[in-house]
Structure 1
Amino acid sequence: MKIATYNVNGINGRLPVLLQWLKEAQPDIVCLQELKAPQERFPVKEINAAGYQAIWKGQKSWNGVAILAKDLEITEVQDTLPGDSEDLQSRYMEAIIDQMVICCLYLPNGNPYPGPKFDYKLDWIRRLKKRTDQLIKMELPAIIIGDFNIIPGPEDVYKPERWENDALYRKEVRKAYKELLNKGWLDSIRTLYPDETVYTFWDYLYKAYDRNAGIRLDHMLLSPYLHSSLQSGGVDRHVRGWTKSSDHAPVWIELQK
């Protein structure tokens, strides 16, 4: 089974890119982030025509997450991250597909640091950890998938010394990410490529993609139940080079079911 994540950075403006990639890559399950479209503007007809069912939670102008599945039933569990009834940002969606819990997230950026946006990011991470602890205790086959807006370590960023006070790389968020791994969540891409330079995002400025001056923000974490199922994975880096593409590239893994 092939499972992928892709921050599309505006689903309607980049729909041709998304559809081209879906046709080429043929993933079974896809988590999308940063739809930048209200609920009624999600291109469900085009997604269905490409062979995928979908559930989504849009938001005007920014945020938004979706889960797609090909030839598989999607059972929605929840479309908000528990723990704050006043948080109206569309950043989390959870579903059951093929007896797996799929947690699609778009974790807050947190910049500028310090400030209220960074505080919101830390609180969001606290809520996420609480939910993921529950999934671990229930011993469920689960995957946390999406744009974490966290650079886990210096090996995941071009020139890490420039990022020390950026909310993506602050020690507080790196510590929180490590705590998730210590709880039993497996960083699938880093496990498959322990010593290689792997990036999933390249800024539009300064020819970052051409210079491979990237960062790794998009992660797929497996609960202990799925560790032994991990077969392969990678980043479809070439998609970032397509015309009018997102600044992220799709990330995927294959599980032996």
Structure 2
Amino acid sequence: MTIATFNVNGVNGRLPVLLKWLNETTHDVVCLQELKTSDEKFPVGALNDAGYGAIWHGQKSYNGVAILARGRQPLQRRSGLPGDPDDTHSRYIEAEVGGLVIGCIYLPNGNPAPGPKFDYKLSWFQRLTSYAQTLLKYDTVLCGDYNVVPTASDAVVPARWLADAVYFPESRQAYADMLTMGWTDAVRRIHPEKGVYTYWNFSNRHGYDRSSGLRMDHLLISPALSPRLQGAGVDVLVRGWEKPSDHAPAWIELNWPGKSH
């Protein structure tokens, strides 16, 4: 079974890119972030036609997360993180797919930092860490745009990001705390070397600024899934398609019962 995560940067505006990618890759589970659409305008019909069932948690113009499953309907477990009933951002959704618990995350960016947005990022991250503790006992994949560059190896030019919230020590420490709890960074487990990136700045020229590469879209797996991890990668070519997102999809492969292809 393959599980992928993709910050689409506007699901309706990037729908041709999303549908082409889904058709070419046939991942079993796909988590989407930054939908930038209200619930009623989510393109469920087009995704159903592409062979995917879907659940989503939208928000007009901002945020938004979704979980897609090929050939089946994800069973929703939760929408939104616990811990702050006043938080109206659509940043977390959770489903059961084929016996796996799938959590889809769009962690706050936190810029400009320091400031209120960075404080919100750290607060949200703390809520995620607390809730993630309860998911360690399940066969769980927590994936999405974490808006965190964990180490210097996860940036082409680390010095470019020293003043950015995605690279602040507090952000990196919060991510490290997740790993200390028992979560495994699946992509880094398979690819321990430098040179794996999921994000690049838009460029004024055709294409994108390759020197801005970052890895901040992650798939964390619970301890029981660690021995089932068989592969991982990034569909880098998607970043170079016409009218792309600034992110490329990352994915992992698990040796998991009930594989649908």
TM-score normalised by length of structure 2:
0.95
Name the structure with the higher strand share: 2
Which runs of at least 4 in structure 1 moved beyond 2 Å after TM superposition? 205-213
Counterpart in the other structure of 2:234: 235
Matching residue of 2:252: 253
Residues of 1 paired with 2:15 and 2:233: CA distance? 22
- Return the letter of the residue paired with 2:162: E
Which position in structure 1 is the counterpart of 2:217? 218
The residue that corresponds to 1:168 in the other structure is 166
Change beyond 3 A, Cα 1:196–1:158 = closer
Rounded to whole Å, the distance in 1 between the matches of 2:160 and 2:70 is 41
- Residue 210 of structure 1 deviates from its aligned partner by 5.2
- Of 141, 150, 160, the match for 2:148: 150
**Which position in structure 2 is the counterpart of 1:8?**
8
The answer to whether the 8 A contact 2:33-2:105 is kept is: yes
Q: Structure 1 counterpart of 2:229, which letter? A: L
Query: Aligned residue for 2:119?
Result: 119
Comparing 172-181 and 157-166, the one that deviates more = 157-166
In the TM superposition, what are the counterparts of 1:67-82 in structure 2 within 5 Å? Answer: 67-82=67-82
Q: Report the 3-state secondary structure (helix = DSSP H, G, I; strand = E; otherwise coil) of the residue aligned with 2:252.
A: strand
Match of 2:198 among 185, 200, 204: 200
- Residue of structure 1 equivalent to 2:259: none
State the distance in 2 between where 1:169 and 1:90 align: 23
Query: Matches of 1:162 and 1:243 in 2, distance apart?
Result: 26
CA distance in 2: counterparts of 1:57 and 1:4, whole angstroms: 18
Measured against aligned partners, the alpha-carbon deviations of 1:181-232 in whole angstroms (never above 9, x if no partner) come to 1111000111111013111000103668353430011000000010001001
Which ranges in structure 2 are unaligned for 5 or more consecutive residues? 257-261
> For residues 61 and 194 of structure 1, what CA distance do their matches in structure 2 show?
36
Which residue identity does 2:197 align to in structure 1?
A: Y
C-alpha RMSD of matched pairs (Å): 1.2
Q: Please state if 1:140 is matched with 2:175.
A: no
Q: Give the secondary-structure state (helix, strand or coil) at the position aligned to 2:89.
A: coil
Structure 1 residues 143-200: Cα deviation after superposition (integer angstroms, max 9, x where no partner): 1110000000100012212222210000001011111111110001111110131110
For residues 53-95 of structure 1, the C-alpha deviation after alignment (integer angstroms, 9 at most, x for no partner) is: 0000110011000000012342111110110000000000011
Please state how far the C-alpha of 1:249 moved relative to its aligned partner: 0.3
Q: In structure 2, how many angstroms separate the alpha carbons of the residues matched to 1:206 and 1:148?
A: 26
1:86-105 → structure 2 map (5 Å cutoff): 86-105=86-105
The one-letter code of the counterpart of 1:70 is R
| Structure 1 letter corresponding to 2:251 | W
Q: Distance in 1 between matches of 2:74 and 2:90?
A: 19
Task: State the alpha-carbon separation in 2 of the partners of residues 116 and 211 from structure 1.
Answer: 31
Secondary structure, counterpart of 1:227 in structure 2: helix
Whole-angstrom distance in 2 between the partners of 1:145 and 1:31? 7
Could you tell me how far apart the structure 2 residues matched to 1:156 and 1:206 are? 24
Query: Partner amino acid for 1:142?
Result: T
Deviation per residue, 1:109-146 (Å, 9 max, x gap) = 0000010000000000000000111112xx11001110
Q: What TM-score do you get using the length of structure 1 for normalisation?
A: 0.97
Contact 2:156 2:195 in 1 (8 A): no
Is contact 2:157-2:211 (8 Å) kept?
Answer: no
Q: Is 1:73–1:98's contact at 8 Å kept on the other side of the alignment?
A: no
Instruction: Tell me the SS of whatever aligns to 2:178.
Output: helix
Aligned partner of 1:168: which letter? V
In structure 1, distance between residues paired with 2:72 and 2:226: 22
Give the C-alpha shift of residue 248 in structure 1: 0.3
